[in-house]
Copies of this chain bind each other. A is one copy, B any other.
Amino acid sequence: MTSTAPSVIARIGMNRSDLSHKNNDNAGKKIFYFGRTKTEGSASQRELLGGKGANLADMSSIGLPVPPGFTITTEMCAAYDELGGKMPKGLMDEVGRNVATLEEETGKVFGSKSNPLLVSVRSGAAASMPGMMDTILNLGLTDDAVAGLAAATDNERFAYDAYRRLINMFGDVVMGMHHEHFENAFDKIKKKYKAKEDNDVPTAGLIELCDAYKKVYRKHVKKDFPQDPFLQLELAIKAVFGSWNAPRAIKYRQINAITGLRGTGVNVQSMVFGNMGDDSGTGVAFTRNPSTGENKFFGEFLINAQGEDVVAGIRTPKPIKDMPKWNRAIYKQLLETKDILEKHYREMQDIEFTIEQGTLYMLQTRTGKRTGAAAVKIAVDMVKEKRIDRDEALCRVPAEDLTQLLLPSFSAHDKKDAQVIVTGLPASPGAATGALAFSAEDAVKRAQAGEDVILVRKETSPEDVDGMHHAVGILTSTGGMTSHAAVVARGWGKCCVAGAGALHIDANKKTVIVGGRRYTAKSILSIDGSTGEVMLGSVKRSTPKLSIEFGTIMKWADQVRTLKVRTNADTPADAKRAREFGAQGIGLTRTEHMFFEGDRIRPMREMILADNKKDREKALKKLLPFQRRDFAGIFTAMKGLPVTIRLLDPPLHEFLPHEAKAQRELAREMGVTPSVIQRRVSALHEFNPMLGHRGCRLAVTYPEILQMQVRAIVEAMIQCKKKKIDARPEIMIPLVGMKAELAQLRALTEETIAKVKKAKKYTGKLNIPIGTMIEIPRAAITADEIAEVADFFSFGTNDLTQLAFGFSRDDINTFLPDYLAKEVLPCDPFQTLDRDGVGQLVEIACKRGRLTRPDLKLGICGEHGGDPSSIHFFHEIGLDYVSCSPFRVPVARLVAAQAVLA
């Protein structure tokens, strides 16, 4: 099972295990043979045979040339445990009978002086489980058999090399000896023969080494290295069984909550060798191109080599297309095998093979990893080839990988020669190159002058938004994947690397020091938001084009899904882009960003500094035309689709400057003394701004703010209607915790709508649903009451997660790494919704809300709206829509379809 397409494999697994329940007439059977002679197991018997055993049986059963062998069941392991570490009665007899079959099939004999059978022994439980026993290769070699192997292969060096490896591995893995004892002995031999590398030791030296190893073995084990291959096998099997309860295996199961398994299987398989001469070889291949998805066989091979050599990269392998020059028959057989595998697994495969003296053996096949582009192409192609249906194709594409297709990026090729100076968190995918700007103002100024700048900040705040918008990328030294910088950047699809802690940023001196080097405003850096890499200089980047297959997958997804997908967008440009990506409306328009730009911050600050309602209203009046224009633009971009507008949410102090210098400047601008500004900033200071005077609490104390915003919405709507543009605003009141809050503000909103309608002499119908964010735990718990005065709920899962856990997103990095390392948390709950806690609150709110108002529209506009696992959950509990950043809209569309099919 690979991580690229777990759902498919899981489903195949499930279907087959259903079969196994019906066809379970092997009860009590201790060993399952696989090979040409017979194959007793099947892919469905993972529990009994372990994953490895079941797969070997499966490949055998479809006629692939798998080296024959047998699997001892996990039940035998359980029995061994129950017996306190004794072999179950009759097991070794059964082993003997299976070895005999193996001998018959291979024509080799265990321990033979002329043509000995060698086997590998491997553990394998139903779940992948590091911490259990390593592989033992070449088992069956003895002083006699090594001579036989030398004779049979006519290769003494090969035979003794295999023997010394067995003794070493057996002593180490089965007998628990320290590896270094063997190393010391090897060093002596190498010294004697003046060999630099292991390979430089001549055959005579390897023969001496085997003797030396046997002495080392005797010295530490207090017994001779077993010369009976069956004794070797018995000891190895016992070691595998024992490793099931080794402390590190137990610990691993505890941590990963792996329960209900009875033990590990033991796989005994005849050895094949790719290093037996120039008619032998080994290789790895993909059945299709894993980068592009093109349906072309793709791989590499090495002549006279073992599998490890390909992986280790000691020798340079040849491309698979050159194989016919070496052995056309094998190449043909490999192509046939490839087809069989794809037909059998109905999926692109990643295979390993060995050719032993002209005979092809398949050692492994598994679902191949691929890029997002390849995943889309392969899935669509396989439907065309009628290998899979559309539903399966939809499930085959890892939704997360779609983002790779949308954003410009540095390919591995692009970055080949780049110098990485620091790596931070991959906070928002994309690729950006620019000169460094150390303040938002500087970024704006230089960007407007045509320069590409990367905004470098310790962390960003709403004050920086304009600068962030103008920068090509954002780089911060603190803050995590859900920091202000990360969230805002992802919302815009702007490249961001966050939390690059090694950066020492001095905003005053306009320098950043890292790795002993200093970078200034003139330095050019490139940042990769998909990997977190920060590179020196300008790195070329690639802008992918969307393929026809991408369009096909999206079309299929839309046909299947029931969950609607909206976007979070604050500007007409964002709205337009999201619409192109398939957004079915806006689920969240944040109005606060609108107050930071250019001329607007001034009246906003006047409003905040006003000490009476009249002056506040005067300042708000100046903001009205800006808001109206913003809304009209967004309505136009989204015509015919709903646009949910959240009224002012952040605490007011975010709009005032906090540094003395900026305060002095503002004071001068506004014609007041700096102390006036200071006093207001100080009065607005909060110990816990997250829990402070914000959201609808602002509207309760300053109703005039709400009134201005509602007025702007309604006037913009009427403006559009008069131009025959179908504007569909929805007004969302944030941070509601009590019904009374929403009831009072709803009444005020309705009253304002009516007033504007009257003032504008508009006689048509204006249907403006009024709803709320559910982001306060109390609101979730009392959703039945709140629903009485809400037309819709939109879950603000960011804040709901903060409050449900008592975590501050801005501060969580002080302990989140420890929590993840100690597995207190399975993942960052701000990235993937915590179903057990936060999810339960969302579910409770849905149920209770619909109890009062069955037609209540339910959506989610937190960061989780773009996270695949979370979207599955939102589908399951019956939300109407998710809303996510524009670049995640295609991801959400696909996941919504996958959720239906799950």
Contacts and interface: CB of A to CB of B under 8 A. Distances in A.
Most chain B beta-carbon contacts within 10 A, residue among A689, A741, A811, A822 = A811
A809 to B, nearest CB: 9
A150 to B, nearest CB: 55
Interface stretch (A196-204, A363-371, A797-805, A853-861): A797-805
Contact of A837 (B693, B737, B775): B737
Interface in A806-846: 806-808, 810-811, 814-815, 818-819, 822-825, 834, 836-838, 840-841
A785 interface: yes
B806 A691 contact: yes
Contacts of A689: 687-688, 811
Given A810-B688, A814-B692, A815-B701, A804 B778 contact: yes
A700 interface: yes
A838 B823 CA distance: 29
A808 B692 contact: yes
Contacts of A738: 824-825, 837
Given A689-B687, A692-B808, A811-B691, A700 B803 contact: no
A697 interface: yes
A805 B691 CA distance: 8
Most chain B beta-carbon contacts within 10 A, residue among A686, A690, A806 = A806
A609 interface: no
A811 B688 contact: yes
A669 to B, nearest CB: 26
A782 B691 CA distance: 23
Contacts of A818: 700-701
Contacts of A691: 688, 690-691, 802, 806-808, 811
A804 B824 contact: no
Nearest to A685: B811
A49 to B, nearest CB: 33
Q: Is the interface of A mostly helix, strand, loop or mixed?
A: helix
A691 to B, nearest CB: 4
A530 B462 CA distance: 44
Nearest to A819: B700
A841 B777 contact: yes
Interface in A51-109: none
Given A692-B808, A805-B776, A824 B782 contact: no
A824 B688 contact: no
A785 B836 contact: yes
Contacts of A744: 822, 824
A823 B841 CA distance: 26
Interface string A630-647: 000000000000000000
A515 B663 CA distance: 30
A837 B805 contact: no
Given A700-B822, A781-B841, A808 B686 contact: yes
A690 B814 CA distance: 14
Given A692-B808, A737-B805, A815 B778 contact: no
A88 B701 CA distance: 46
A877 to B, nearest CB: 15
A815 B697 contact: yes
A735 interface: yes
A513 interface: no
Interface in A654-690: 686-690
Contacts of A693: 811, 814-815
Interface residues on A, range: 35 or more
Copies per complex? 2
B781 A804 contact: yes
A687 B810 contact: yes
A1 interface: no
Nearest to A697: B815
Contact of A777 (B700, B803, B810): B803
Most chain B beta-carbon contacts within 10 A, residue among A823, A825, A837 = A837
A385 to B, nearest CB: 46
Interface in A711-741: 735, 737-738, 740-741
A834 B777 CA distance: 13
Interface in A831-888: 834, 836-838, 840-841
Nearest to A802: B691
Nearest to A776: B806
A841 B776 CA distance: 13
Contact of A808 (B688, B737, B838): B688
A372 to B, nearest CB: 33
B815 A700 contact: yes
Contacts of A735: 806
A837 B778 contact: yes
A692 B836 contact: no
Contacts of A785: 836
Contact of A824 (B740, B776, B823, B836): B740
B825 A687 contact: no
A475 to B, nearest CB: 20
Given A700-B819, A811-B688, A838-B778, A799 B804 contact: no
A279 B799 CA distance: 74
A127 to B, nearest CB: 20
Contacts of A690: 687-688, 690-691, 806, 808
Contacts of A778: 804-806, 834, 837-838
Given A778-B838, A806-B803, A811 B692 contact: yes
A740 B837 CA distance: 13
A190 to B, nearest CB: 41
A782 B815 contact: no
A749 to B, nearest CB: 15
A777 B799 contact: no
Contacts of A692: 808, 811, 814
A570 B775 CA distance: 36
A810 to B, nearest CB: 4
Contacts of A810: 686-688
B686 A824 contact: no
Contacts of A825: 738, 740
Contacts of A740: 823-825
Contacts of A741: 824
Most chain B beta-carbon contacts within 10 A, residue among A688, A690, A735 = A688
Contacts of A822: 700, 744
A250 to B, nearest CB: 14
Nearest to A702: B818
Contacts of A776: 804-806
A781 B840 contact: yes
Contacts of A836: 781-782, 785
Interface string A766-791: 00000000011110011001000000
Contacts of A804: 737, 776-778, 781, 803
Nearest to A742: B824
A692 B813 CA distance: 9
Nearest to A652: B814
A689 to B, nearest CB: 7
Given A744-B824, A776-B805, A824-B738, A837 B781 contact: yes
Nearest to A801: B778
Interface string A699-712: 01100000000000
15 contacts: A687-B690, A688-B688, A700-B815, A740-B824, A740-B825, A741-B824, A744-B822, A744-B824, A776-B806, A778-B805, A778-B806, A781-B804, A781-B836, A781-B841, A782-B836
Closest 7 CB pairs of A and B: A691-B808, A778-B837, A688-B808, A777-B777, A687-B810, A686-B811, A693-B814
